[in-house]
Amino acid sequence: MDMSRQMISVLFAALTFSTAALASDISQTEYDAIAERIKPVGDVYLAGSEPVKEEPTGPRDGAKVYGTFCIACHASGVNGA
């Protein structure tokens, strides 16, 4: 590989990693807001803890859940979603 290709490869790698580092750097306030927003569908159940009891509201359509909660991040690809 000649010197110019090596230089381009190194610059591309540096740009890629620096962009990824900047994109994943969010404040605690932003992190808390995201956690609160996805809490209804994004809570994690840990073995041994008491499961959350919710009253059933009837069948839920997967497309409606995705369109309400998931699409905000997954449609735009935020943080690799």
pLDDT in tens, 12-66: 777 777 666 666 677 889 889 988 888 877 777 778 888 767 777 778 888 988 8
The whole-number pLDDT of residue 14 equals 76
Q: How far is CA 51 from the centre of its chain?
A: 24
pTM of the complete model? 0.32
Q: What is the pLDDT of residues 65-76, one digit of tens each?
A: 888 888 888 888
Beta-carbon count within 10 A of 73 CB: 15
Q: How far is CA 76 from the centre of its chain?
A: 10
Structure tokens belonging to residue 30:
């932003």
